[in-house]
Amino acid sequence: MNAVFNFIHHRILVTGASSGIGREIARQLIASGAEVFALGRDAQALAELGCHSLCVDIADSAALDKVLQDLPPLHGLVNCAGISRLEPAAAISADAFDQVMNVNARAAAQVASRVAAKMIAADIAGRIVNVSSQASLVALDDHLGYCASKAALDAITRVQCAEWGRFGLRVNSVNPTVTLTPMASMAWSDPAKRDPALAAIPLGRFAQPAEVALPVLFLLSDAASMISGVSLPVDGGYTSR
């Protein structure tokens, strides 16, 4: 897959960059010339990226604010940090629900708030991409908290678009299907789990990390200069049904 983007002289923060989709986004941005600030919890994994490393637990609001305060004004932000705790709808726990909402929605809003404030003060027409999920658009068994958190993230995206557009900021979200990171490849290796999910995707396969990362780079680029406030499914047609 070949796609060429030029982010030379662009400072871009990627959260959740220690692993998975966030790591692939950081890698693609680095390869495209961006000055990347990679935020995550695994210091060694961040160091291996060869960019600016910000090791912090994104759920720790005070520690997160301290890290964000020290950043220069940025040109772009990718909110990719996320977690899931699976529980049936008839047995949700306050602890699991709050943890998922705090990371997937509250922390993403907090990061964007602090980053956008500096963009506006520096008169930078910044670009923000929130990594949501197909789970914001459809019901998935045992994913009540996760679905709710990603639906909240899409709503957050629309509010940010509406409030910050007057300053030239663009805010969008992407909504991937199952993406075959190393962890997901193991989790979806059981045919009993994998095959019904694949059958629901018109293209008949799960996404590769680069197939999510490159649409994110597109939304960060000038090629998407009139796109703001959208939630873009990257799901092989899953949510079309």
**Does residue 188 lie within any of the structural domains?**
no
Residue 120 lies in a domain: yes
Residue 85 domain-assigned (yes or no):
yes
Sign of CA dihedral 48, 29, 83, 134: negative
Catalytic residue, from 66, 118, 146, 193: name it: 146
pLDDT digits (tens, 9 = 90+) for 68-81: 999 999 999 999 99
Domain annotation covers residue 151: yes
Task: Choose the catalytic residue: 118, 150, 193, 238.
Answer: 150
pLDDT at 30 over 70: yes
Question: Is residue 185 situated within a structural domain?
Answer: no
Examine residue 235 and state whether it is found in any structural domain, yes or no: no
Residue 63 and residue 121: Cα distance in Å, rounded? Answer: 23
Span 82-131, pLDDT tens digits: 999 999 999 999 999 999 999 999 999 999 999 999 999 999 999 999 99
**pLDDT tens figures, 109-121:** 999 999 999 999 9
41 assigned to some structural domain: yes
Quick check: 2 pLDDT over 70? no
pLDDT at 115: 98
Dist. CA 126–CA 219, nearest whole Å: 11
Q: What is the pLDDT of residue 184?
A: 86
Instruction: Kindly state whether residue 16 falls inside one of the protein's structural domains.
Output: yes
Residue 226 lies in domain: 11-179+209-230
pLDDT of residue 1: 54
Query: How many independent structural domains does the chain possess?
Result: 1
Establish whether 118 is a catalytic residue.
no
**Dihedral sign of CA atoms 46, 14, 205, 238 in order:** positive
pLDDT tens string 148-173: 999 999 999 999 999 999 999 999 99
Give the CATH number for residue 24. Answer: 3.40.50.720
